[in-house]
Amino acid sequence: MTDASDYLRWFKDLQLDDVPLVGGKNASLGEMYRDLSAQGVHVPNGFALTVRGYHDAIRESGAGPKLHALLDNLNITDVTLLATNAAEARRLVYAATGEAALRARIAAAYRMLEDEYGANVAVAVRSSATAEDLPTASFAGQHESFLNVTGIDDVVEACRECFASLFTDRAIVYRVNNGFDHFKVGLSVGVMKMVRSDRASSGVIFTLDTESGFRDVVLITGSYGLGENVVQGKVDPDEYFVHKPTFALGHRAVLRRILGQKQLTMVLADGHIGSTTKDEATPADKQGRFCLTDGEVITLAAHAIAIEKHYSHRAGHAVPMDVEWAKDADSGRLYIVQARPETVVSRKSPTMLESYALTGIGPVLATGKAVGEKVGSGVVHIVKSAEDLKTFKPGEVLVARSTSPDWEPVMKTAGAIVTDHGGRTCHAAIVARELGVPAVVGAANATTALHTGARVTISCAGGETGVVYAGDIPFEVTRIDVGALTMPKTQIMVNLGNPDQAFRTAMIPNAGVGLARMEFIINEHIGIHPMALVHPERVPQRERVRIFERVAGYVSPQEYFVRNLAEGVGTIAAAFYPKPVIIRLSDFKTNEYAELLGGTTFEPHEANPMLGFRGASRYAHPAYAEGFALECEALKRVRDEMGMTNLIVMVPFCRRVPEAEQVLAEMARHGLARGTNGLEVYVMCEIPNNVIQADAFAAVFDGFSIGSNDLTQLTLGVDRDSEIVAFDFDERDPGMYEMLRMAVAGAHRNGRKVGICGEAPANYPDVARFLADIGIDSISVNPSSLLRTIAIVTEAESLKAVA
């Protein structure tokens, strides 16, 4: 005898163990509704039509044998036959699920939702397959869902359409490619209160970085309106990162924000199934604002972390999650409307590293967000509609405004994917990751800049920005099992300036960051002279207009500098946390500062900027002291608000001890007092006087970092920017070896750490061996030289031990 609960279950009566009964999506919603509501994770109420009801309907209608005839041994590469048989299969299922008993169950449950939420309550009707949202296969986007469904008749209709969607073309192909039996997979349908995000915002959360697999961050994407546009890649969403380890310590700060264009807003429309939503252009003023407040970002991060912790505990191992969220405009409450295990990046081997690098250059045709870290070449095929897919050839580069789940059978044959719109959590990005092909999403003008038949190279190997180059650009692939690496006693650190490369670089064996270049962040992510932000009134009118255009949306021009610098430095510090990250204070020369927007107003012309107004001499000087205050404010925010106490501050080009004392006093005045909250301050050892007076400098600094480029220049008296005397610039000169020996001895004599962050150890193995032999504490090199330097130093230490 069957019970009513065999055919319909409310979320409060479901848990993860009920996947065979209600599918992955509904079981997950029930799990959260039951077990996480007490932790403040809000899930809309709803019910699930069970898989048993689906199977009984198929059996009682006699549709089973007909479905077997349509699908057994179906050649899924025959797109025409696939479409024909899939359509007939859907018709059979739709007809089978029209029984009166099913309608009565849906009607009774819908009336209970009306009792809770009001008459004619709008609901979301969503498919939930038994093979869906598994740790090994997501089935994302394979089956139908319907939003803003009202009234019993339309809810029943939507449920029948969901049941039938078990046999969409894309779902059939997905099951075949992933080894699932069509007839061992059942479909449940979930009906839940509609969250009115059409007048607010919604999006997707991953509890890891989707490109590198870095697990210590939560990535939140969001846009205005219903979330389908984010999932489908029709908009470029906002992105936010939150750092999990410091969040666990009580810090509630947004690590990084990236403003998206959010071109469209999906809102509700009056209509029946299939026409209950519509897109509207997002007003320009809203596009220029983030769709979430910092407080809302932190709330969503807390929900995501709680969900990940709960599912990981249930599984007995770490389970990164893929979560969908929506903000209700009526209540202002943030809801979780779906959660499933992330199934692509988290399954990569943690020890096997695969690194792609271009070995040539070419004209840039388009740029966007990089998906993955690979490089690929192929022939462009512009796809404007499904009709264009019929002529698509395997290995071609699929270029479109956005992609649809219906395209997946063809997308699986693409050599690379490029879209005009979309973020890193959109459909095109998810499919590309699953297939392991490079993709560039949100490239804006790809469909007009690229042309069918042209050969291009797609590179996702340079960080967050993906690039489409004209022609075939040569590249190399390096594969290393880092699990087999032996790390030397000497700490091998990395030099880094680009926050976009921080997460992936941190996954290479390292001892932290020996040199984080602030100049890169200022130049690439800010682009405006700090003094021009403090005193825009002094800047010529034309430049002032450009400055105010860039800082629009910030509370002040100064906040533009502080927040962007803090987020850049914070991202690097978070990537390597809790390992030390040494950030060098700005070390632009006057001619380089002058190239920043508004810079010519504040920078003098110098005959030899290399030896002029640079480094420590600027920080307390009236010409730059207000700009230095912004640098200090940013670093204070990283340490105090973000919780990155692994950040060490380093003073560059410090000529004399009194100058050092003046800089330290200025830092303390701005809240960066040496020793407070564990703050260490290092000095660049790049002037002979730093070596000669090592004892005196050691009295005011906590450590030394040898800058071999400037130290060689000043020891040998060679201008390294002069081509005519470049032949005399050599870090291997006997005098330089003596300088290095004296620097290391002087630091150790005073109980101070000493490392090197110049290029000499990477360029010359003999220098690396010498440094290891004299007992330097750390060697910091560029990421591309890291593994080679590890091998050289390990060998040098072994030879020293034998000797």
DSSP at 695:
H
- Distance CA(737)–CA(745), nearest Å, equals 12
- Distance CA(305)–CA(315), nearest Å, equals 15
Do 705 and 515 touch, CB atoms closer than 8 A? yes
Residue 706: its H or E element: strand 703-706
Catalytic entry in 426, 632, 685, 757: 757
Token pair recorded at residue 615: 């480094």
Helical H segments across 461-586, by residue range: 502-506, 518-521, 530-534, 541-550, 557-576
Nearest to 421 by CA among 372, 384, 371, 368: 368
Helical H segments across 36-99, by residue range: 51-61, 64-71, 79-96
Q: How many CB atoms lie within 10 A of CB 687?
A: 24
Side chain identity, residue 779: I
- Distance CA(442)–CA(405), nearest Å, equals 17
- Burial class from Cβ neighbours inside 10 Å (0-12, 13-18, 19+) for residue 479 reads exposed
- Distance CA(518)–CA(497), nearest Å, equals 7
* Residue 340, SS3 per DSSP: strand
Residue 648: its H or E element: strand 647-651
Catalytic entry in 42, 303, 427, 748: 427
Do 572 and 496 touch, CB atoms closer than 8 A? yes
757 has catalytic annotation: yes
Q: Does residue 578 have a cis peptide bond before it, meaning omega lies within 30 degrees of 0?
A: yes
CA–chain centroid gap for 253, Å, is: 17
Q: How many CB atoms lie within 10 A of CB 718?
A: 17
Token pair recorded at residue 397: 């580069």
291 has catalytic annotation: no
Q: How many CB atoms lie within 10 A of CB 487?
A: 14
Residue 795: its H or E element: helix 786-802
Do 308 and 326 touch, CB atoms closer than 8 A? no
Helices vs. strands in the chain: H and E counts, helices first: 30, 30
Q: Which residues of 323-336 are buried (b: 16+ CB within 10 A; e: fewer)?
A: bbbbbbeeeeebbb
* Residue 110, SS3 per DSSP: helix
Q: What is the CA radius of gyration of the chain?
A: 30
Helical H segments across 378-423, by residue range: 408-411
- Burial class from Cβ neighbours inside 10 Å (0-12, 13-18, 19+) for residue 464 reads buried
Q: Which residues partner with 468 through β-bridges?
A: 366, 458
Token pair recorded at residue 185: 């997979």
DSSP string, 531-544: HHHH-GGGS-HHHH
Distance of CA 21 to CAs 127, 130, 337, Å?
Answer: 13, 8, 19
Q: Which residue has the tokens 């690229």?
A: 450
* Residue 518, SS3 per DSSP: helix
- Distance CA(125)–CA(128), nearest Å, equals 10
* Residue 389, SS3 per DSSP: helix
Q: Which residues partner with 293 through β-bridges?
A: none
Token pair recorded at residue 549: 């255009």
Catalytic residue set: 427, 757
